[in-house]
Structure 1
Amino acid sequence: MSASSRAGVRCVGGIVHDPAGRLLLIQRANEPGRGLWSIPGGRVEPGETDVAALVREMREETGLRVRPDELAGHVVRGRYEIYDYVCHVEGGALRAGDDAADARWVDAAAFAALALTDGLADTLRGWAMLPRC
């Protein structure tokens, strides 16, 4: 898959739940969506696969090493074509980095209280990927 397509800029996101069922979210440090909470991810660089981009972006934004698994779904947000994958943590220590102002595991109550990027809650609900606790 290439970094860009006719629809726009190809991006990836990582959907990660911890053993307690909490969802990993980052607070965006930059536009679009500065200050809002979303799943970690970013652009696929030229010559990069979705998997390589996702491993890189997750490490840069959260400090975690992940193993991407199945595609959860695909959304288009403006010029960004985003492919979100279920991921499993293989190591690292959670910390906000790169484009993230904060990173944390959130349960259902915390998720409902956060200012989320547009459409995130509905999208994750439709994919059965909301926090499980």
Structure 2
Amino acid sequence: MTEDGIRRIRCVGALVSDTRGRLLLVRRAHDPGRGQWSLPGGKVEPGESDAQALAREVREETGLEVAVGALIGTVERDAPNGVFRIADYACVVTGGDLRAGDDADEALWADLATFDTLDRSNELVAHLADTLREWDAMPSSG
């Protein structure tokens, strides 16, 4: 618990682009956000650094190995018993094969047209598109 009485849950997210500028997205298999597309990521476990947690989450959700780079930004999102404090990092794929796993029921490389379609049809987790626009981190047109 913090001084303001709100429980903040430390989480990480990955902004991973391929050589064509497409953004890696996963469709959540569980709540929160079940059935919606999001960045790969999740909770930081006790004793993990952000980079360790993010590499683990990306591997579990997508089958890809990544090198974690610079912090792009942080956001807070409502959680059932507090607030998720999510630190989003740029990542580069270093190995593996794309496949959905663990908390994801699908994974894909989204170009701008695909991302915009998901956004217009309300298939993205809340605020993802606005946040990525604010950070100038939208996928390219492929």
Both proteins in one fold, TM over 0.5: yes
- Structure 1 partner of 2:22: 22
> What is the distance in 1 between the residues matched to 2:48 and 2:95?
22
Residue in 1 that maps onto 2:124? 116
Select 2:99's aligned residue among 95, 120, 124: 95
- TM-score after normalising by structure 2: 0.89
Instruction: Give the % identical residues.
Output: 56
1:49 aligns with 2:53: no
After TM superposition, the runs of 4+ consecutive aligned structure 1 residues lying more than 6 A away are: none
CA distance in 1, matches of 2:15, 2:135: 11
The Cα RMSD (Å) is: 0.9
**Residue identity in the other structure for 1:49:** S
Distance in 2, Cα, partners of 1:19 & 1:86: 14
Show structure 1 runs of 5+ residues with no match: none
Q: Which amino acid aligns with 1:86?
A: A
TM-fit CA distance, 1:132:
1.3
1:105-127, Cα deviation, whole Å (9 max, x unpaired): 01111001111000000001111
In 1, Cα distance between the equivalents of 2:16 and 2:138? 10
Aligned pair count?
129
Please give the TM-score of this superposition, normalised by the length of structure 1.
0.95
1:14-73 CA deviation, whole Å, 9 max, x = no partner?
A: 000100010000000000010000000000001110000000000000000000000000
